[in-house]
Structure 1
Amino acid sequence: MSSPYVPRTAFPPPGTTLAAAVHPRTRPLVARRPVVDERRAELVRALEALPPSGCLTGLSGAEARGWWSLPAPDGLPVFAAVPETAPHPERRGLVVTRHAVPPALEARQDLRAGTPGEVLLGCWDLCLLDLVVLLDGALAVGEDLAELVATARLRRRGAPLLRQALLLADARAESLWEAVNRMFHVGVGVDVVPQHPIALPDGTTAYADLWLRGTRRLHEYDGAHHLDRDQQRRDLRRGRLLVGGGWERNGYTSHDLLVRTRDLLRDIDIALGREHDPARLAFWEAQLQHSLLTPAGRARHAERWSRAAQGRAGRRTQRARGHDEPIAPPYAA
């Protein structure tokens, strides 16, 4: 089986800057997701245990900033960052990173969150797939790409992974599962165009989740909202117009992306006219073992985070110095 790394064709040409590697949005920004009241109250209580210079980071910072959320294990702790000189907060269910340089933070209504780059550095222990999906979500709501690039260039834990994620990021996705769908195709060596505009026979424009470049094939994610009766009517009409324009649309679900991956790969290989080779799934299968998208990945993280959030005796206290040598996550790909 081939090495479980991203195909070289997925990356931009050598010499491409991080900023130039990211495809910009071509449609209106995605609305930030509100934090549900119960979770917001939990985040507020965690912030009350922090000094004013402390903030939410990692997955908690992503929540506070309104990005789309990866599936989380039960009992997800609150992730926060504080200056190294600040008193150590005493609260169970809180995983704290101590910084030699105070973390950059911003107010998000009644929450204090790290800047986008700080939040993503706090996700240093996620796999590459999950970080790219989070990064796509940050870009979709309009976070500052320049700040993300500047942060990725620092000699900080998590920066090497963030740099790699920026080379794979794309701001055009409209949802988390669209981003996951794109990364599946990228991971099996397919050149795709997200949110591809298509002129329909009735004079309107359709935007396809993914166009397999060089074909007339569209691959789209069909979530639960497509089961709504009115949505089904719109989808069927849109599908007829696409067929009338000479396009073939295939819809896939999260089950296809996480479980029936060989069937999806076979569809892709047929569309591209290439030999079917299950070895192309090596990167994807390696990532899913550690991804929050899967029960196995959530269980791995839950065990580690549970130990880290059990108070001073069991808490993993992280130190993040501003000029540390880069530290790769335990399963960077």
Structure 2
Amino acid sequence: MSVPARVPRRLAVLPFRGSSAVSDGLLTWTMLRGPTWIRLLPDVYVHRDGYRAGDHGMWCEAVSLRLPPDAVLAGRSAAWLFGVDVLTRDAPVTVVLPTAARLRPHPRLRVVRSPLAARDRTLVGGLPVTTPLRTAFDLGRHGSRVEALVAVDALLHRRLVRLPGLRDFAAARAGWPGLSLLREVLALAEPLSESPMETRMRLLLLDAGLGPLTAQHEVRAGGRFVARVDLAWPALRRAVEYDGDHHRERAHFRRDVARLNALRAAGWVVLRFTADDVLRRPDATVALVRQALAERRATAADH
């Protein structure tokens, strides 16, 4: 992407404070009011070629320029900066503010007022954020049960936090809001869960009374590795897998066919589901899994 020569290099891509650019002699207020610059927040601008309305990273950069002392990016925004994408569509930037601090409201901003110890702050790419441990603690005690579990599973899977450490962190903060939800989430959390949809599918099956089940189970036959399946009932040789869009790619499809044939030869039945099955047809999905488990139990009883 070429940048016109008249645009100062340091202002070509990232958001910046307009007042600083003017005081440094890089721009004038008249120039900032022109079509070359997009105003994101009060006194925060970005070059039009660097503007991407849905780019959460751009908005995090912009918000960080307006943060009062000791305030940090937090929640889903902090997770995103750590490389864990649990954002909802057009999610606002989440900020934790000290009690006495002020920040002007904005549609792309979500403000949370909460105690924040110095040890709960860190930097990512120069931006102030809550530590992974504090981020997991916050996400696990707010929102819906499923979204809280999705976020905690994702942070655990990336090994940004460990389950024992998160339990200890929560135990040391008795009386904080949302701890009852967090305790439930920690009882259900699974570090081996590889995607948000896998977590949602696992919770759907557990809530239907189809547990216990094993995440990322290795199937072996005669001591030989056959495959690893998303969710399994090893004693019954039944498994459930979530198929994302990447499974439609030709090379991936061919590998899946060979893999499923190998599992079938090892005596396993694998049910495969998509996002629509989990989100829009949960009852039918549960019914199919329940039937597959019941059939296997009946067959085992006959023998």
TM-score (normalizing by structure 1): 0.65
Unaligned 5+ residue runs, structure 1?
A: 1-35, 275-333
Q: Offset of 1:256 from its aligned partner?
A: 0.6
- In proportion to residue count, which structure has more strand? 2
Q: Deviations along 1:14-59, whole A, 9 cap, x unmatched?
A: xxxxxxxxxxxxxxxxxxxxxx993212101111111342111122
CA distance in 1, matches of 2:65, 2:224: 55
Q: Offset of 1:102 from its aligned partner?
A: 3.8
CA distance in 1, matches of 2:225, 2:105: 55
Alignment partner, residue 286 of structure 1: none
| Partner SS for 2:262 | helix
Query: Which among 109, 115, 128 is matched to residue 131 of structure 2?
Result: 115
Identity rate, percent: 27
CA distance in 2, matches of 1:101, 1:186: 35
Alignment partner, residue 183 of structure 2: 163
Structure 2 counterpart of 1:149, one-letter code: R
| Partner SS for 2:55 | helix
CA distance in 1, matches of 2:76, 2:242: 24
Q: How does 1:152-301 map to 2 (within 5 A)?
A: 152-153=170-171, 154=173, 155-190=175-210, 191-199=212-220, 203-273=224-294
Could you say what the CA RMSD is over the residues aligned between the two structures, in angstroms?
A: 2.3
Alignment partner, residue 88 of structure 1: 102
Unaligned 5+ residue runs, structure 2?
A: 1-52, 296-303
- The answer to whether the Cα contact below 8 Å between 1:120 and 1:162 also exists between their aligned partners in 2 is no
CA distance in 1, matches of 2:138, 2:250: 41
Alignment partner, residue 150 of structure 1: 168
- The answer to whether the Cα contact below 8 Å between 1:56 and 1:64 also exists between their aligned partners in 2 is no
Structure 2 counterpart of 1:89, one-letter code: L
Alignment partner, residue 46 of structure 1: 63
Alignment partner, residue 31 of structure 1: none
Q: Offset of 1:258 from its aligned partner?
A: 1.3
Bigger Cα Rg: 2
CA distance in 2, matches of 1:111, 1:89: 17
Query: Which among 62, 68, 73 is matched to residue 85 of structure 2?
Result: 68
Q: Show structure 1 runs of 4+ deviating over 3 A.
A: 100-103, 120-125, 200-205
- The answer to whether the Cα contact below 8 Å between 1:49 and 1:90 also exists between their aligned partners in 2 is no
Q: Deviations along 1:51-94, whole A, 9 cap, x unmatched?
A: 34211112212212222325x143x2111112224x31225122
- The answer to whether the Cα contact below 8 Å between 1:200 and 1:241 also exists between their aligned partners in 2 is no
Alpha-carbon distance change, 100 to 222 in structure 1, aligned in 2, over 3 angstroms: closer
Alpha-carbon distance change, 38 to 263 in structure 1, aligned in 2, over 3 angstroms: closer
Stretch moving more, 98-107 or 173-182: 98-107
CA distance in 2, matches of 1:150, 1:204: 36
Quick one: higher RCO (CA 8 Å, sep 6+), 1 or 2? 1
Stretch moving more, 226-235 or 49-58: 49-58
| Partner SS for 1:273 | helix
Q: How many residues align?
A: 236
CA distance in 1, matches of 2:56, 2:244: 24
- The answer to whether the Cα contact below 8 Å between 2:226 and 2:262 also exists between their aligned partners in 1 is no
Alpha-carbon distance change, 37 to 262 in structure 1, aligned in 2, over 3 angstroms: closer
Q: Deviations along 1:87-107, whole A, 9 cap, x unmatched?
A: 312251222222344461121
